[in-house]
Amino acid sequence: AEKNPGEKEFQQAVKEVLDSLRPVIEANEEQYRKDALLERMTEPERIITFRVPWVDDNGQAHVNRGFRVQFNSAIGPYKGGLRLHPSVNLGIIKFLGFEQTFKNSLTGLPIGGGKGGSDFDPKGKSDREIMKFCQSFMTELYRHIGADTDVPAGDIGVGGREIGYLYGQYKRLTGLYEGVLTGKGLTYGGSLARTEATGYGLVYMVREMLLNAGMTMEGKTVAVSGSGNVAIYTTEKAQQYGMKVVTLSDSNGWIYDPNGIDLDLVKQIKEVRRGRIKEYAEAKPGVEYHEGKGVWSVKCDIALPCATQNELDLEDAKQLKANGCFLVAEGANMPSTREATDFFLESGMMFMPGKAANAGGVATSALEMSQNSERLSWTFEEVDEKLHNIMINIFKKVDEAAKKYGYEGNYVMGANIAGFEKVVEAMNAQGIV
């Protein structure tokens, strides 16, 4: 905390990870101290911050702050998304880059950890303003990234449109047509199933958790938060498996549809009109809309937080349990507070942390990199099948790592340990760097 003052999300993430690695750290204490392993693990290899000036449609100039944190390249080129949201600061990008390192390790693919973004607010901006911002952002970022060094992707506020503008500017500045970004459109090097990957992967993970407990998916009631990329494709796959999703939300409020979410309507509102989730309740009779928080107060079997960090606190966790919820899997990054996470584990609920549960997105990004390298495109079915197998393998690794240290069923420990051990091995092999 002294070394990183004010970076509360980063401190939270480091503490959570190191606490759960205790058995591993204790078993290797002397060696880790001698090698300053944990100090190296928690210090990013490189932090880049830069000015992003742009001019709005009225001729007014603005300045935002851009970030790229290149956290750890022990197992591959830095890989991780770009977030555009007014809340973005260095502590948030560092927390995301730190977590990304272990998540990427869990996928089994050769990708290191990084994250970036800006405090720019895309809400209410015209396409032209978004393009201006993205071009300005890339005009500095391009010199730090590359298909074999650092490959950014989307995150909150960065979808297909933004990736397109960023890619166009990178190509213009470098002359390179290479896989430097993932989440690209299908006409210029994108991968089929990347859009769906994080949400689909999350549901594949839920499936493994249920199967492992001898349960089925059919007929389960699910509460989902958020209404962006992850929330939408989580809902889609959950419905394909016969589950009933009853909620969605955004930063203004949440909807409850007792008959199950009508996903075509959601896609129309969010993907076509770029509207608000409130419009769903306005368009459909019998749907409740509530301002503010409260999505976790509904009765459900399974809760899948897919919006943002710290959106589910201890009170929410208790309410979920009291209402019969028995499984929580994180589509977002660190959506549960530390107290909520501890409550899930202590009260015997099944709980899968984001770094394992939402790893399908980055895994499929790595598959996009492979396709770009061989200049071929795989079919939707091919990519989806690989994604499904990756999620099955992540569940196995997490489950086995927890068992190995005597903490069966504690997937927080399992995910951190399994992700960490591979990174440590790669770091050790490469010397003190």
Which residues are near ligand NDP by CB under 6 A?
85, 87, 154-157, 198, 226-231, 250-252, 306-308, 311, 331-333, 358, 361
State which residue, 38 or 314, has the beta carbon closest to ligand NDP: 314
Left, alpha or beta for 157 (phi > 0: left; psi -120 to 50: alpha)?
left
Asked whether the CA dihedral 133, 134, 139, 144 is positive or negative, the reply is positive
**Nearest distance in Å: CB 431, ligand NDP:** 31
Shortest distance in whole angstroms from residue 150 CB to ligand NDP:
17
Shortest reach from residue 153's CB to ligand NDP, in Å: 7
Q: Hunting for tokens 């901006």 — which residue is that?
A: 125
Instruction: Please state, in angstroms and rounded to a whole number, the distance separating the CA atoms of residues 306 and 26.
Output: 34
Q: Provide the residue type at 174 as one letter.
A: T
Report residue 181 as tokens.
Answer: 């970004």
CA pair distance 58, 68, nearest whole angstrom? 29
Instruction: Cite the DSSP H helix spans in 188-313.
Output: 194-212, 229-240, 263-267, 278-283
CA distance 39 to 424: 12
Provide the minimum distance between the beta carbon of 310 and ligand NDP in the complex, in angstroms, as a whole number.
9
Residue closer to ligand NDP, measured from CB, 221 or 358 = 358
Task: Report the residue number whose CB is nearest to ligand NDP.
Answer: 228
| CB nearer to ligand NDP: pick between 84 and 210 | 84
**Residues near 67 by beta carbon (within 8 Å), at least 6 away in sequence:** 47, 48, 49, 50, 88, 90, 93, 116, 117, 118
Of 66 and 81, which has the nearer Cβ to ligand NDP? 81
Which residues lie below 8 Å from residue 54, measured CB to CB, with a gap of 6+?
Answer: 61, 62, 64, 129, 132, 133, 136
Q: Any catalytic annotation for residue 115?
A: yes
**DSSP structure string for 159-199:** -HHHHHHHHHHHHHHH---S--SSS--GGGT--TTHHHHHH
Nearer to ligand NDP, 141 or 156 (CB): 156
CB 142 within 8 A of CB 170: yes
Backbone angles phi, psi at 88, to 5 degrees: -65, 130
- CA atoms within 13 Å, Cβ hemisphere of 374: 9
Query: Tokens 């937080």 label which residue?
Result: 305
Q: Are strands 112-118 and 221-224 parallel, antiparallel or unpaired?
A: unpaired
Closer by beta carbon to ligand NDP, 312 or else 424: 312
- Which of residues 37 and 88 has its CB atom nearest to ligand NDP in the complex? 88
Count of H helices and E strands in the chain? Answer: 17, 12
Cβ 93 to ligand NDP shortest distance, Å:
11
- Residue 37 or 203: the one with the smaller Cβ distance to ligand NDP is 203
Catalytic residue among 79, 94, 103, 115: 115
* CA 228, chain centre distance (Å): 12
Enumerate the active-site residues: 115
